[in-house]
Chain A
Amino acid sequence: MNGKIQNLIRDITGKGAVSTDASVKGAIACEVEKTAFSQAARILKEAGFRLMAEWASDETFFGRGYAVYAAYNDGSDYLVIKSALPPGEPSFPTLTRHFQGAYRLERQIDSLFGLTPAGHPDLRPWIKHEDWPAEAYPLRKSFAASTAMPRVEREYKWAKASGEGVFEIPVGPVHAGIIEPGHFRFQAVGEDIINLETRLGYVHKGIEKRFESLSWDEAARLSGRVSGDSTVAHAVAFCMAAEEASGCVPTDRARYLRAVMIERERIANHLGDIGAICNDTAFAFLHYQFSILREKVLRTNLRIFGHRLMMDRVVLGGVSADITGEGVAAVLAELNEVSGEFERLVRIYEDSPSLEDRVFGTGVLTPEAANALGVVGFVARSSGQKLDARLQNPFPPYDRFVPRVPLLRSGDVHARAWVRIEEVRDSFRLVKEMLGELPGGPLASEWVRPLPEQSGFSVVEGWRGEIVYWVQCAPDRGINRCMVRDPSSMNWLALEQAVRGNIVPDFPLCNKSFNQSYSGHDL
């Protein structure tokens, strides 16, 4: 722990003594009184930290009540602040006045745990739809996962706009394309969007609750299905958190192969999405061309790793799929072919005035808004925020293979597409370099379950951005709580800001350029 952090913790705890919580691995953790929970947020904000995640845990099985946690990052260290809530006091001070990003995270805690963030400006339920019974708090230990949920009559109070010529456009949950469900409500004047409110939660399928009933191995499989397009990154994040908690150290070869798969997942998703952005400008040609490249990458995945999306290839302690010398040669040959084609397509992208016309200046997320909302991933990097888990606290092999992270400030659709173009190029390079120095040795270390009450914190930069996990081991050495924070949970709010003042027909394009996960958000 460096001196800066030590001083901060001293400020926060206020007693002179540093009270750290050694049960949390993978981050510097300290426990504070409930009243200091939001003071800590203020002190950390002043010290240049951002809020990464906020969550609660039911610690009844350890003979305690509930606890709330918040994780912060200052560009290098991860700091977790915990507050135990005294019995009979199901509330905690809100962090929203210091960090806007806490807004929905706390509504979620309120909805699923029944713990009230005191002072929060908007306590409408989140994820929990209005037709759930009010007293249903699924993440409490007293709530059985199989509880039947009758529907009750209640209404969701939407933000309203009024005035001459203002009208509302409700869209969803079922959308026109082959995409996930969510509800968007626009207030518009003519074609101009004056406000957008999203409501999500449609694909909430009880993932966090389900983790608590699974064995560690099954849980790793489940983490690979939190958001299927990021199956590798989520599984790595879960396994790293579990490994932190247990002290299990994955083998070197496994670490390299995990990183190779993370980068290949980035390439495949970026290829698909860059094409899809072009498609939303009615430039179908590039869409089809990029989809051919994506298909090539997925086919190589199938041949080398045995699954097109590389699901279930990351396991506790390591990986389950190896790569042979021939496999390495096949991947390198594919990279050469795909990267050559890719550059040709990028030149066409650059040369198309009609595309340019649609993507430049559309859906702008200003650097100030990005910073205030605490967005992550390529969305942050397109709006001037230099955030990347591969840089801020690099886990091996990213300590040796340093990503060249692109940074743009314009925050428009083009910036989000262009950052991803640059990232594809860099991932081609990283995969080549990592495979060139792939260490030998076994694929996985022996997995041992963590000891009761130990918890692990992990952060992985998936293609969408920073994925955060926190896993806490139960008294029976199963899982007591698994917190999942997909990058989408931080970025959905940014979409609402970015579309203001744009025209309604540009919404699909803006939305595509963010491409947030509904499943990863709704859990």
Chain B
Amino acid sequence: MLKIFHQIFRTGIVTEPLDPAEEAKVTLTGSALEEEVKKRFGGSVTIRLVDAGSCNACELEISAINNPIYDCERFGIHFAASPRFADLLLVTGPVSRNMEIALRRTYDAMPSPKLVVAVGDCGYNGGVFGCSYASLGGVGNVLPVDAYIHGCPPAPSRILNGILKAIRKI
């Protein structure tokens, strides 16, 4: 136990302020009703993530926003295990044919109003995987998307900025 306390004091607070430079790499599609979103999600937002066919690198960077350096919880952002509690659906990857139904069902299980944010170049237009017999391309081909966070993969600070922008917090 002493070692743990010692390590906690050695580490101190490592959380960094948000880097605003990343904001430009986010596209809002404007489909969300600004006031409504502000009113409902102003304080906090609960996220359900669905990997709809990613290479898994986008997941690595999304996981990283939970680490003490980015600490997404300080902005009221947290991840839920069930879509029933979620306000925002974060989607990575091109939508694979084999994930299409699961993605739609997750979206349908979420209460309204809800937002959809696509993470990564794949989520935007299919990225390197394109469209094919197995890939339906970008998330926009399957669900109404409110914001795209570009990059391959986008860095954690950009993902965090993108989510905050989507809920009109910045």
Contact = CB atoms under 8 A, between A and B. Distances in A.
A148 to B, nearest CB: 7
Which interface residue of B55, B63, B127 has the most chain A CB atoms within 10 A? B55
Interface string A329-346: 000000000000000110
A222 B122 CA distance: 12
Nearest to B134: A206
A206 B133 contact: yes
A292 B96 contact: no
B77 interface: no
A178 interface: yes
Instruction: State the 4 A-B residue pairs at the shortest beta-carbon distance, nearest first.
Output: A228-B57, A206-B134, A176-B81, A228-B55
Contacts of A143: 133
Interface residues of B, number: 50
A174 interface: yes
B125 interface: no
A309 B58 CA distance: 11
B135 A205 contact: yes
Interface string A200-234: 01111111011000000010011001111101000
Contacts of A138: 133-134
Interface stretch (B3-11, B24-32, B35-43, B141-149): B3-11
B123 interface: no
A458 B17 CA distance: 44
Nearest to A291: B67
A519 B55 contact: yes
Contacts of B133: 136, 138, 143, 145-149, 206, 209
Given A201-B98, A225-B128, A519-B54, A180 B68 contact: no
A174 B54 contact: no
Nearest to B62: A178
Given A207-B129, A225-B128, A231-B57, A295 B134 contact: no
A344 B97 CA distance: 46
Nearest to A208: B134
Nearest to A276: B63
A367 interface: no
Interface of B: 3-4, 7-8, 11, 14, 49-64, 66-69, 79, 81-83, 93-94, 96-99, 102, 106, 127-135, 152-153, 155
Interface of A: 129, 136, 138, 143, 145-149, 173-174, 176-181, 201-207, 209-210, 218, 221-222, 225-229, 231, 272, 285, 288-289, 291-292, 294-295, 298, 302, 308-309, 311, 344-345, 347-348, 351, 517-519, 522
A246 B54 CA distance: 31
A205 B53 contact: yes
Contacts of A351: 3
A390 B152 CA distance: 29
Given A129-B98, A203-B53, A288-B68, A180 B7 contact: no
Contacts of A146: 131-133
12 contacts: A178-B59, A201-B98, A203-B52, A203-B53, A205-B93, A209-B132, A228-B60, A288-B67, A292-B67, A348-B7, A351-B3, A522-B98
A309 B57 contact: yes
Contacts of A129: 98
A438 B106 CA distance: 50
A210 B54 CA distance: 15
A174 B128 contact: no
Given A149-B133, A228-B153, A289-B7, A179 B58 contact: no
Contacts of A176: 81-82
A228 B54 contact: yes
A356 to B, nearest CB: 15
A221 B128 contact: yes
Given A146-B133, A205-B132, A292-B67, A181 B57 contact: no
Nearest to A129: B98
Contact of A292 (B14, B60, B152): B14
B130 A210 contact: yes
Nearest to A179: B59
A292 B69 contact: yes
Contact of B96 (A147, A202, A228, A298): A202
A287 to B, nearest CB: 9
B3 A347 contact: yes
Contacts of A272: 60, 63
Given A344-B7, A348-B4, A173 B54 contact: no
A144 to B, nearest CB: 8
Which interface residue of B61, B69, B106, B133 has the most chain A CB atoms within 10 A? B133
B67 A210 contact: no
